[in-house]
């Protein structure tokens, strides 16, 4: 400010001096004319700078500030500094905002910001896919117009803390959501959607499991209880006549026993704390052993053969035996009389492959993905009458998992099935030591 | 939204409110139809009463929204797009209400089908698929209404033929079942009712899409193009 006044004062003195000299040389008129011309020049230079400033203010982007002399120059420099600071600040804010929105974008749960009228201000990608929103295009739309779940409007209007809405978006069979609404700032709301599909599914599996176990145990118990009641009500039971009921009861009791055994095996396999007992065994012994067991079960109704390459396998003998034997007994159970069952052990690309091929009834394709679920039965009646517990393949799956092996099922209805277990190379040695 | 002369905030929010309520009603109807189709697949009687109970809510919505529309017309005398919005919305409400009736019809038939002993007709999957298609059409129509998106509405209208094709496919299969075993006739007739109800739901969804085009562009696309050609061969809407 002071410098502007000083410059102005200096200029005025210069003009006055000029006018005085002019006055001395050309008289009064000449002096006045010179003074006027000097003042005019000063005013013109101001107007010129002002118009440059105006032009710059209209379109500040890209253009550098005009250079000027004196006070205007100082003002321009100050303005330039101000602008640069502002720009830097803006860049910082933009960068901060970027980081925030990128973080929110990367957030795995759905986030939607809503204004006081529940219009969408912003949402992340998870929210887009979970709630069917269209990000940019849906900005400013009422959320209740797009998320039209019957209870949602009330839920979002209240937005009570700690309240959550469990729902399945209309038309989505594969998605369960838990929604929460939080108030923040001035009349703003944050809607969070959590994908709880897996949790819901796990809960369903658990419920189903308990129901299935109870059902499976109840059936034989009902039979036993029925016979017992009948026998107790007979005043004088005839030992010969009670022979057959006793045999049936014995069979049912055994079934329960094998079910409970299988459950115990399964729970032991599933408990992670229990370490795998690693031992090296001869595959040939193991497979022959399992084949013998199968022959006993088959009692000559099937032709059971083994094609085994010599080799050794590392793992828990007990668990592998139970896995293999479950696969083989399944083959025996589901292959009609006169059928053929082949047990194989071979090396394929370094991996050890144990396979059981049968000429049985086969499995329709739609059942294959669910075969290893506990108590999953393709045909309820049939599998129970053949004496299965419904846990065999679950046991196989878990035992194999503990050996880093995976199970593959090939099957064609009416033609037969092949179950293959692939063991990783490091568990397998091609040649047997002693044999 | 560009507005003509009426420029009060209250008026805007009244219009927004009507549209919002129609969409809410749409959500309720959508859930109701889904439940009805579920009933048909599973025979779950508990859900059947749920569908019937929802019907009351849907009817209440209809009365409520009609009332609001009359009030807005009487008090504000809307013009141009605002008027079209009111008109389109009140027509969409009627469509939604009818859809609710169709849903109820589906559950009624489902009850009959599942209570009847005798030979079953394994068409659950087909009926379900066409039902899912119809519900998806409705959902998209409502989305188009919420976003006022006439392009999406046009796509919905052009895809209505898909549901009609499904319907005819189900009909053909039912005829073969009935010819093979006359004991299936009564069940087959009931399945026809269900399939027809689903086909109608698809038509109503198309109507809503047409209203969206009317609201945004001011052009009436009903009974034009494909529609006329189709109604010559089909029994029509």
Judge: A170–B139 Cβ closer than 8 Å, yes or no: yes
DSSP reduced 3-state for A119: strand
pLDDT of residue A138: 85
What is the per-residue pLDDT across A228-257, written as a single tens digit (0 to 9) for each?
Answer: 888 888 877 777 777 888 888 888 888 888
Q: Please give the average per-residue pLDDT across B125-129, as a whole number.
A: 85
Q: Which residue has the tokens 């188009």?
A: B144
**In a 10 Å sphere around its CB, with 0-12 CB exposed, 13-18 middle and 19+ buried, how is residue B106 labelled?**
buried
Judge: B147–A138 Cβ closer than 8 Å, yes or no: yes
Most confident range, picked from A177-181, A367-371, A388-392, B205-209: B205-209
The torsion angles phi and psi of A282, rounded to 5 degrees, stand at -80, 120
Of A76 and A40, the one with more pLDDT: A40
Distance from CA of B142 to the nearest CA of A (A): 8
Helices and strands counted in chain B (H then E): 7, 0
* Helices (H), ranges, A300-360: 317-333
Judge: A150–B146 Cβ closer than 8 Å, yes or no: no
What is the per-residue pLDDT across A136-171, written as a single tens digit (0 to 9) for each?
Answer: 888 888 888 888 887 888 888 888 888 888 888 877
What is the per-residue pLDDT across A281-331, written as a single tens digit (0 to 9) for each?
Answer: 888 888 998 888 888 888 888 888 899 888 888 888 888 888 898 888 888
Nearest to B27 among A138, A142, A149 (CB): A149
DSSP reduced 3-state for B126: helix
Distance from CA of B230 to the nearest CA of A (A): 28
Q: Which residue has the tokens 């299965």?
A: A388
Judge: A150–B31 Cβ closer than 8 Å, yes or no: yes
Where is average pLDDT lowest: A163-167, A183-187, B35-39, B45-49? B45-49
Distance from CA of A146 to the nearest CA of B (A): 6
pLDDT of residue B7: 55
Q: Compute the distance between CA of residue A136 and CA of residue A124 in angstroms, rounded to an integer.
A: 10
Q: Which residue has the tokens 């120059």?
A: A73
Q: What six digits make up the tokens of A227? A: 């016979």
CA A61 to chain centre: 46
Average pLDDT of chain A to the nearest whole number: 84
Judge: B30–A171 Cβ closer than 8 Å, yes or no: yes
Residues in chain B closer than 8 A to A137 (CB atoms): 147
Q: What six digits make up the tokens of B64? A: 């409520």
Ordered by start, the domain boundaries in chain B are 9-230
Residue among B15, B17, B23 with most chain A CBs within 10 A, to mutate: B23
Are B88 and B207 in contact by the 8 Å Cβ rule? The answer is no
Q: Compute the distance between CA of residue A178 and CA of residue A162 in angstroms, rounded to an integer.
A: 12
Distance from CA of A389 to the nearest CA of B (A): 27
DSSP reduced 3-state for A333: helix
Q: Please give the average per-residue pLDDT across A380-386, as a whole number.
A: 61
What structural domains and CATH numbers belong to chain A?
2-101 (no CATH), 107-195 (3.30.450.20), 204-270 (1.10.287.130), 279-429 (3.30.565.10)
- Specify whether domain B9-230 bears CATH 1.20.1440.230: no
* Interface contact A148, partner B, CB < 8 A: yes
What is the per-residue pLDDT across A94-125, written as a single tens digit (0 to 9) for each?
Answer: 999 899 888 888 888 989 988 888 888 888 88
Banded pLDDT at B96 (limits 50, 70, 90): very high
Nearest to A146 among B31, B136, B143 (CB): B143
């Amino acid at each position: 400010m002071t410098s502007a006044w000083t410059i102005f004062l200096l200029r005025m003195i210069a003009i006055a001096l000029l006018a005085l000299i002019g006055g001395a040389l050309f008289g009064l008129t000449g002096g006045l004319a010179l003074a006027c011309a000097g003042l005019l020049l000063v005013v013109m230079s101001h107007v010129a700078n002002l118009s440059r400033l105006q032009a710059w203010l209209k379109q500040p982007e890209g253009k550098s500030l005009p250079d000027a002399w004196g006070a205007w120059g100082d003002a321009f420099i100050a303005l330039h500094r101000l602008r640069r600071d502002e720009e830097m600040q803006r860049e910082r804010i933009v960068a901060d905002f970027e980081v925030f929105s990128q973080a929110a974008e990367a957030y795995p749960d759905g986030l939607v910001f809503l204004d006081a009228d529940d219009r969408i201000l912003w949402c992340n990608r998870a929210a887009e896919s979970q709630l069917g929103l269209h990000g940019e295009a849906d900005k400013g739309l009422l959320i209740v117009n797009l998320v039209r779940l019957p209870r949602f409007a009330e839920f979002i209007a209240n937005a009570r803390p700690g309240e959550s809405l469990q729902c399945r978006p209309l038309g989505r069979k594969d998605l369960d959501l838990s929604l929460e609404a939080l108030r923040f700032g001035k009349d703003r709301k944050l809607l969070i959607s959590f994908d709880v599909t897996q949790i819901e599914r796990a809960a369903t599996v658990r419920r189903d499991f308990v129901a299935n176990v109870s059902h499976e145990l109840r059936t034989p118990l009902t039979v036993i209880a029925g016979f017992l009641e009948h026998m107790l009500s007979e005043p004088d039971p005839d030992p010969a006549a009670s022979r057959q009921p006793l045999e049936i009861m014995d069979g049912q009791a055994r079934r329960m026993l094998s079910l409970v055994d299988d459950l115990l095996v399964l729970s032991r396999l599933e408990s992670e704390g229990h370490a795998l007992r690693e031992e090296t065994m001869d595959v040939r012994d193991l497979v022959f052993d399992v084949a013998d067991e199968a022959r006993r079960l088959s009692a000559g109704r099937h032709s059971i053969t083994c094609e085994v390459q010599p080799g050794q396998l590392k793992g828990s003998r007990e668990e592998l035996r139970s896995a293999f034997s479950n696969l083989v007994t399944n083959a025996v159970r589901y292959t009609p009389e006169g059928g053929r069952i082949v047990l194989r052990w071979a090396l394929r690309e370094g991996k050890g492959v144990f396979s059981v091929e049968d000429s049985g009834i086969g499995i329709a394709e739609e059942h294959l993905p669910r075969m290893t679920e506990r108590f999953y039965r393709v045909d309820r009646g049939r599998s129970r009458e053949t004496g299965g517990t419904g846990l065999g393949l679950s046991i196989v799956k878990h035992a194999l998992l503990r050996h880093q092996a995976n199970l593959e099922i090939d099957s064609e209805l009416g033609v037969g099935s092949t179950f293959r277990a692939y063991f990783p190379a490091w568990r397998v040695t091609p040649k047997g030591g002693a044999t | 939204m560009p507005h003509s002369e009426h420029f009060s905030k209250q008026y805007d929010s009244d219009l927004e409110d009507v549209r919002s309520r129609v969409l809410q009603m749409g959500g309720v109807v959508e859930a109701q139809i889904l439940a009805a189709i579920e009933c048909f697949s599973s025979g779950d009687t508990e859900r059947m009463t749920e569908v019937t109970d929802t019907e009351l809510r849907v009817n209440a919505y209809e009365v409520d929204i009609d009332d609001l529309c009359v009030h807005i017309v009487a008090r504000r005398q809307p013009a141009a797009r605002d008027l079209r919005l009111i008109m389109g919305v009140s027509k969409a409400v009627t469509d939604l209400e009818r859809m609710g009736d169709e849903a109820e019809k589906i559950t009624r038939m489902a009850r009959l089908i599942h209570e009847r002993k005798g030979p079953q007709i394994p068409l659950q999957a087909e009926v379900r698929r066409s039902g899912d298609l119809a519900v998806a059409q409705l959902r998209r129509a409502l989305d188009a209404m919420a976003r006022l998106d006439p392009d999406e509405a046009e796509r919905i209208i052009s895809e209505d033929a898909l549901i009609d094709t499904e319907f005819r496919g189900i009909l053909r299969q039912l005829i073969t079942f009935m010819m093979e075993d006359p004991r299936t006739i009564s069940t087959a007739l009931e399945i026809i009712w269900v399939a027809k109800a689903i086909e109608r739901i698809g038509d109503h969804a198309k109507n809503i899409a047409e209203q969206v085009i009317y609201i945004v562009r001011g052009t009436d696309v009903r009974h034009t193009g494909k529609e006329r050609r189709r109604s010559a061969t089909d029994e029509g809407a």
